Structure 1
Amino acid sequence: MGIAVVGGSLAGLFTATLLAQDGHDVTVYERSLHGLGGRGAGFLGKRETFAILRASGCEHVARVGVISRERIVFGDAGTPLVQPMPPQMQISWDAVYRVFRERKADGTYLPGKKVEHLREDTNRVVLRFEDGNEAMADLVIGADGIASVVRAVVDGPSASNSYAGYVGWRGLLSESALPGFAREELLDRFAYFRMPYSHIIGFLVPGAGGETGTGRRRYNWVWYRPAAGPATRDGVLTDSQGRIHRYSLPPGTVSERARERLVDDARRLLPRSFAAAVEETARPFEQGIFDYETEWMVSQRIALVGDAAFVVRPHTGMGIAKAAADAIALPKHMSSVPLETALRNYAQERIQAGKAVAASGRELGARLMSPS
């Protein structure tokens, strides 16, 4: 079967890899011209994550991670509380992306191919690209994330994301850039601080090349801050050139003025160690927090995976795991029944799971962004 995967990030690569292993002719179309390497930091290792690595023969990538065994919780005053926690692995996004990307044969991963429109016929789907060219496929996988074009064909007018009223400022820096007092408190621990309507977390992730040795790792932090209303959201998602971004500001696009305000707020509001991490981050980036739940997940010859189907809040730590579970479920259902039945069975399984994760994310967001 000829399959087109729209979106070449992890959700698309996971799905393409397993479908190709089953003998399908799979081509990945990625809108970014230069690929996605170097854009990720780290993510939490979950059961579904390890399952996709095993299923694709990439289990060795799970060793490219940093393990936390302690949690440090900062209070409003006094000594922070250090607690033991079950071992938690933070895996390198870059390392996982690189391994899966390298497994795609020449000509089966095409960057710079932005899909503008899809037309679903009885026996095929026609994809039209920004450059005017077209391609045909027996099945299309929508793995094109929060800004999904494919989703609109499946869900129609209801296919818009809902803004949650806050953003996540993010930073990634070499652990050696942290001052000594911050390294002593933060490294090898999962760190957390909460204040009214806001909270910040931080943890170690591998280096850009997957390095896990002391001194070669990176510190990853995320500071969730309110930005209610479209005008406020657009203001914080405006880059250094004055352009408003719909969903996020990538590294290198935040204005120096916005960065200075962020550092000033960190010094005023955060514990000293977290404030130091924010201050030492030369290129912070920003993510708007949105919700989306698919109504159908599939049509006659289209299936959605990952954030194209369900945009869940990052507090769950389940974004990559959810995409991995989608990628495992689809080939499983396609292995022995007609396509129409397979897609229907896939949707029945994954819609229920997606709604559960989305509900958990909204509940966590409401609690963590509350005034208490």
Structure 2
Amino acid sequence: MSPRLLIVGGSIGGLFAAVLLHRAGFDVTVTERSVHGLEGRGAGLVAQREVFAILREVGVEHLAHIGVTAHERIYLDHAGQVIHRQRTPQTQLSWDVLFRTFRELLPDDRYHTGRQAVAVVQEPDGARVSYDDGGQEKADLVIGADGVGSTMRVAVSGPHSQPDYVGYATWRGLVPEGQVPQMAAAQLFDRFAFYEMPGSQILGYLVPGPDGSTAVDRRRYNWVWYRRYTPDELDGALTDRDGERRPVSLAPGRVRPETVAAMKADAERLLPPAFAAAVAAEPRPFLHAIFDYAPAHMVSGRVALMGDAAFVARPHTAMGVAKAAGDAFALRDALTRATDLDAALAAYEAERAPAGAAIVAYGQRLGRSLG
């Protein structure tokens, strides 16, 4: 009989694994803490080799051709003049479309929202997950795909296995292109734009609309501003509208108005005019602290980690979705090839731990000027 697999975390990485495992004939269920779903939270993503491979694997390779292409990279000075230009075309796919496609590939009875996992306990023949509603789920194998703040990680690496804050965070905006002032649109659209200053960087590019549309006037402008924060400053920035200090990020609409106002005033003072205008045009910016984490192990007993629940790499790598796809492939392959779960999990860790560690190290090198 096929082992029962429980995936905790239903974002893109958990869905990658669930779809591959379901198609391979495994009894797999996903639980996701979000009540209203995850669509609308993603921006654009740069597809790497592993993403193209998983699209081919499930028969949706056409998605690789649905995106917004930036035809060049430009670097600005503070006055807004272009000081460097590179002809490097690059296409950004839609995270939302990718998520929605893989969600639709998994039967509804295999994906359960509104279930917040609070603990996992190893048992002789599997593992048991407890949820905040008082319910429990037993499985032969629990797969932690619950992101940077993973609850499942404790069962693998112990109670102190928390990612390290690297000294900076990102502000992000996703602005409908029609709401970006014309002055900014003329300079920023259809290209990757960058501005760098000591300890900070902002970049931006067009991405598909929430429905995946790439038509003019249906796209969004995605800007990302890296800024340094001391731990005390971060505590203030990550305290939400209700006065609760969130551990990792604040979603759109959850940042305190005074924090947003201070950030936009800084943007007006510190950024080139086009970027300052794009930042000002976002009514609900969101905030995400940046972390590093490289575990000693990805597996313990009958709990395995994948994606950002395992290795947390800085976003400069643009490899988060690719890393999750690689983990999903390796997990599927190991479980289908090995004669027992223990052998499969050993093979999975042997393949993916070196890859995860290399991506984390790469992100650290790219972020040296900011941290």
What TM-score range do you get, normalising by the shorter chain? over 0.9
Q: How does 1:247-258 map to 2 (within 5 A)?
A: 247-258=248-259
Alignment-mate amino acid for residue 336 of structure 1: R
Q: Percent identity?
A: 48
Whole-Å separation in 2 of the counterparts to 1:185 and 1:76 = 14
CA-to-aligned-CA distance 1:290-315 (integer Å, 9 cap, x gap): 11112110122221110000111111
Alignment-mate amino acid for residue 328 of structure 2: A
Alignment-mate amino acid for residue 282 of structure 1: P
Match of 1:164 in 2: 166
1:65 aligns with 2:67: yes
Q: How does 1:131-170 map to 2 (within 5 A)?
A: 131-170=133-172
SS at match of 1:366: coil
CA-to-aligned-CA distance 1:218-270 (integer Å, 9 cap, x gap): 000010111012x2111111122222111001001112222211111111110
Normalised by the size of structure 2, how large is the TM-score? Answer: 0.96
Whole-Å separation in 2 of the counterparts to 1:196 and 1:86 = 25
Match of 1:287 in 2: 288
Please, what is the CA RMSD of the aligned residues?
1.3
Alignment-mate amino acid for residue 29 of structure 1: T
1:96 aligns with 2:98: yes
Whole-Å separation in 2 of the counterparts to 1:304 and 1:64 = 31
CA contact (8 A) 1:66 1:212 kept: yes
Match of 1:83 in 2: 85
CA contact (8 A) 1:70 1:82 kept: no
Whole-Å separation in 1 of the counterparts to 2:160 and 2:241 = 32
CA contact (8 A) 2:166 2:290 kept: yes
Alignment-mate amino acid for residue 359 of structure 1: A
Alignment-mate amino acid for residue 212 of structure 2: G
How far apart are residue 81 of structure 1 and its match?
3.5
Whole-Å separation in 1 of the counterparts to 2:198 and 2:88 = 28
Match of 1:173 in 2: 175
**For 1:344, which of 346, 349, 352 is the aligned residue?**
346
CA contact (8 A) 1:291 1:311 kept: yes
Whole-Å separation in 2 of the counterparts to 1:85 and 1:255 = 40
Structure 1, gaps ≥5 residues long: none
CA contact (8 A) 2:153 2:161 kept: yes
CA-to-aligned-CA distance 1:325-371 (integer Å, 9 cap, x gap): 1111111122221221111111111110111110111111112x16x
CA-to-aligned-CA distance 1:164-197 (integer Å, 9 cap, x gap): 1111010010111111121111001001000011
Q: How does 1:20-31 map to 2 (within 5 A)?
A: 20-31=22-33
Normalised by the size of structure 1, how large is the TM-score? Answer: 0.96
Whole-Å separation in 1 of the counterparts to 2:10 and 2:310 = 15
CA-to-aligned-CA distance 1:44-81 (integer Å, 9 cap, x gap): 11111111111222222223311112011002457313
Alignment-mate amino acid for residue 145 of structure 2: A
Whole-Å separation in 2 of the counterparts to 1:128 and 1:157 = 16
Pairs aligned (count): 368
Match of 1:277 in 2: 278
Q: How does 1:118-133 map to 2 (within 5 A)?
A: 118-133=120-135
Whole-Å separation in 1 of the counterparts to 2:296 and 2:86 = 41
SS at match of 1:127: strand
